[in-house]
Structure 1
Amino acid sequence: MRLIFIGMVLFGALTAPALAHTAVGPTDSFGAGFAHPFGGADHLIAITLVGLWSVLAGGRAIIAWPVTFGAAMLGGFAAASAGLQISFVEAAICLSVVLLGAFIALEVRVSVMPGISAIGILAFFHGHAHGTEAAAAKLVPYAAGFTLATAVLLFVGMGTGFCAGSLPGTVVVRTAGGCAALIGLSLLGGLA
Structure 2
Amino acid sequence: MRQNALKIVLAVIATLPALALAHPGHEHTNSFLTGFLHPLGGLDHLLAMVAVGIWATTLGGRAIWAVPAAFVATMLVGGGLAVAGIQVPFIEQGIVLSVLFMGALLLASAKFSLLSCTLIAGFFALFHGAAHGLEMPLNANGAVYAAGFAVATILLHAVGIAFGTVVASIQAPIINRITGSVIAIAGMVLAFA
Q: TM-score, normalised by structure 1?
A: 0.82
Measured in 2, the distance between the counterparts of 1:24 and 1:131 equals 11
Taking only the aligned residue pairs, the percentage that are identical comes to 40
Structure 2 contact 24–137 (Cα < 8 Å) conserved: no
Return the letter of the residue paired with 2:60: G
Q: What residue number does 1:111 align with?
A: 113
Measured in 2, the distance between the counterparts of 1:180 and 1:44 equals 10
1:172 is displaced (CA, Å) by 1.8
Q: What residue number does 2:80 align with?
A: 78
Alignment length (residue pairs) = 168
Return the letter of the residue paired with 2:86: L
What does 1:37-76 align with in structure 2 at a 5 Å threshold? 37-76=39-78
Return the letter of the residue paired with 2:45: H
Q: What residue number does 2:179 align with?
A: 176
Moved more, 139-148 or 71-80: 139-148
Return the letter of the residue paired with 1:53: W
Q: What residue number does 2:147 align with?
A: 144
Q: What residue number does 1:26 align with?
A: 26
Structure 1 contact 56–168 (Cα < 8 Å) conserved: no
The one of 101, 104, 128 aligned to 2:103: 101
Q: What residue number does 1:14 align with?
A: none
* 1:86-135, Cα deviation, whole Å (9 max, x unpaired): 34101100100000000000111111000011111100110000111113
Structure 1 contact 76–124 (Cα < 8 Å) conserved: yes
CA RMSD of aligned residues (A): 1.6
Moved more, 168-177 or 126-135: 168-177
Q: What residue number does 2:161 align with?
A: 158
* 1:62-104, Cα deviation, whole Å (9 max, x unpaired): 1110110110000000011111113410110010000000000
Please give the secondary structure, in 1, of the residue aligned with 2:151: helix
Measured in 2, the distance between the counterparts of 1:176 and 1:132 equals 30
Measured in 2, the distance between the counterparts of 1:55 and 1:157 equals 8
Structure 1 residues 167 and 119: alpha-carbon distance in aligned structure 2, compared to 1, 3 A threshold: farther
Please give the secondary structure, in 2, of the residue aligned with 1:117: helix
Measured in 1, the distance between the counterparts of 2:80 and 2:24 equals 20
Return the letter of the residue paired with 2:93: A
Return the letter of the residue paired with 2:156: L
Structure 1 consecutive aligned stretches of length 4 or more whose deviation exceeds 6 Å: none
Measured in 2, the distance between the counterparts of 1:40 and 1:169 equals 29
Please give the secondary structure, in 2, of the residue aligned with 1:165: helix
Measured in 2, the distance between the counterparts of 1:134 and 1:38 equals 14
Measured in 2, the distance between the counterparts of 1:116 and 1:140 equals 24
